[in-house]
Structure 1
């Protein structure tokens, strides 16, 4: 209370000092008093203040306010201002008073009030906190653990939306690879006039209070991912392929963009068509655009081959703030003539046999061709060895044999002669 009193005395002094001039000085109002700040829900910051003391009775007070970065300027007669903002950083609001809504008027001295970030090590807070609203029915939030955290940290996610009435806790927390995920049901009335102003406030912390809480604001007009559409039937007419499908509920055709992909099994070509609305005349097929039925005409598709068709959708900027999240592809549907599988089986059996036979013939031909082009060179040493070396060895062998045989015969004969002589003498 001391600061406003001093400022009021200063204004009075300035006004009295300038009273002697010829022209009346611009009337400057004293600053606001009792500026305070509080937090509601998870991320709703509220500033309140009282009118300045000693304000001129002839002045219709207006209040000029902006944040510390001089963004989001606002001039209003209310003594209150609120803002949904993630509380991950320091946030300051500056407020001044003036006598009109004209921004060119000099406001009073600005009074500032800040709210500090949550306590804890900033490195312990979770990172990459993102939330996606799946088919306007449930929200899925994912994040990565902070740097200075234990692997066994138990995380808790709290969320709030105006349709819920109070802060709620997400019960379905699980891990997907390195990310931690939590999903919760969130359905709102799309036709609500305040729908485009509603956000989902999210806070992630641990049960033990050892990590720094992390806050996130999710606008419901962004980060919306529809379910895949449904292909009802395919048919050819006048040489064109018609694809009849149905939008995912509760989306309308005006809020979606479409992509149709056709794969041809024979030519292995892929055709992709991206459009913002149904391009068929509804008189050409059985369907009603009011029940979400859509139709696409795709020219240049071969009808005598097998074609596989898939579809996917995403939100557009007519109804939503972004158009980046495609749905998954719809289940594939085929149309056209199927190729006989027996022919493929026969080809799979015959082709390897033909290739193997060709390789064998080629190897034999190359070996024979190599012999013709590069005939073997005879070894002169081997020829001379056969002519001379082997014959000498055989000659010596036979000579040794003859000498041994002769010697054996002579000795035998001599023994016989001696025995005969002894018998005769007796």
Structure 2
């Protein structure tokens, strides 16, 4: 009898435990988020929503956790909360690739027990990836305008008419409303109007007159008017794409310690946010020296230069590393115009000129002397007639002959007396 009571009691205990475990499992399963929806806000933030749980978890702390993969190395982005609705801002932008699928999962923790995660992949922008633009790039001509360029996608339809939308986001907190579809966010931005096509790249230019502080963020979306191509989303800090105009060299001078002092200025920005590079070469050399890098200054002395050699110098600038998030990848400005620093004379050029003129003069005099040597020889050393050519070989026989006179006797000249001429003239006058 006692044995029967023990068996019955054990059965009741097991039944109660089984029912409790079944209820707990059922409650936990009902905590899993179902019908997860995804969206975007007008502030370019992502959000996830799901219906509130109907499970009884009042005696423990209920937690929802959203985890999303990122592109860079490190821990995935994770957000926690007790509500059935979490928002994840798209900051910092280099953590995500908004043009491809984003993978995220939602976990539920109840009574220190983790329930199986719900996993989902979402597309921020709809459409076929082959239709999206390629090689997209923007350069901000500092405090003037932004120039964005791109190329056609591999599956881009013919005669597509591109449209570029952009947003200038400041780092300020404000309430942002959710949007039903991605296309709705395009109406909240500005539209670029100045398009161009150089045959290789398509592009658009829009004004952006901002200074370094505060640091604005630039969001751009390239699509078409008919929404046939997948939008291309670019999200970057404007300082990372900033480029200055070429600096202007304002002064160059030589110093007593065999250096060249150079100073320059830029069109915008102060020296505390600018890094510069300066390089030089001699007038007889085609290769430039390794550039000197200067931070927080707009002048530099180039050391160890020869005082009598002419040098060429040029300068370029960019934002300093502490002003950007991509460090040495900042854009350098074009090089300035080359500036000539003439060498000092110090009498050396005169000496070199004399060393060249003296040998040249000697050579010219030698050529003139050789040219007139024959005439000069006849003057200095007159030729003496050879007697053998005038007298016969047998001189004694010649003396006995009638040909002793080697010259002809002059004929007697008729001489007119002067007085006869005078008398004749007097007679004619009378």
Q: What are the within-5 Å matches in structure 2 for residues 76-87 of structure 1?
A: 76-77=81-82, 79-84=85-90, 86-87=97-98
Measured after TM superposition, the shift of residue 43 of structure 1 is 5.2
**Pair 1:298 & 2:298 matched:** no
Structure 1 residues 32 and 276: CA distance shift in structure 2, 3 A: farther
> What is the aligned partner in structure 2 of residue 30 from structure 1?
31
Give the alignment partner of residue 88 of structure 1, picking from 99, 112, 119: 99
Higher CA-based Rg: 2
Tell me the distance in 2 between the aligned counterparts of 1:158 and 1:269.
44
Aligned to 1:142: 149
Task: Quote the Cα distance in structure 2 between the aligned partners of 1:86 and 1:19.
Answer: 42
2:191 maps to which of 165, 169, 173: 169
Residue 275 to residue 89, structure 1, CA distance change in 2 (3 Å): same
Are 2:106 and 2:117, in contact at CA under 8 Å, matched by a contact in 1? yes
Deviations 1:220-254 (A, max 9, x none): 3423323322322111112211111224522543x
Does structure 1 retain, via aligned residues, the 8 Å contact 2:283–2:310? yes
Question: Shift of residue 209 of structure 1?
Answer: 3.3
For 2:133 and 2:154, the matched residues in 1 are separated by: 8
Alpha-carbon spacing, 1:28–1:230, altered in 2? closer, same or farther (3 Å): farther
State the shift of 1:41 in Å: 3.9
Q: TM-score normalised to the size of structure 2?
A: 0.59
Structure 2, unmatched stretches of 5+, are 1-16, 91-95, 177-187, 350-430
Secondary structure of 1:271's aligned partner: coil
Show the 5 A alignment for 1:149-160.
149=156, 152-160=159-167
1:250 equivalent among 247, 269, 278: 269
RMSD of aligned alpha carbons: 3.8
1:320 deviates by 1.0
Distance 2:219 2:235 in 1: 5
Structure 1 residues 251-290: aligned runs within 5 Å: 251-253=270-272, 255-268=273-286, 270-277=288-295
Question: Is contact 2:294-2:300 (8 Å) kept?
Answer: no
Give the TM-score normalised by the residue count of structure 1: 0.60
TM-fit CA distance, 1:188: 4.3
Report how many aligned residue pairs link the two structures: 302
In 2, distance between residues paired with 1:268 and 1:92?
A: 54
> Is 1:98 aligned with 2:90?
no
Name the CA shift for 1:117/1:77 in 2 (closer, same or farther; >3 Å).
closer
Residues 353-392 of structure 1: matches in 2 within 5 Å? Answer: none
Tell me the residue number matched to 1:394: none
- Distance change in 2, residues 1:243/1:43 (3 Å): same
Contact 1:140 1:181 in 2 (8 A): yes
Structure 1 residue 312, shift from structure 2 partner: 0.5
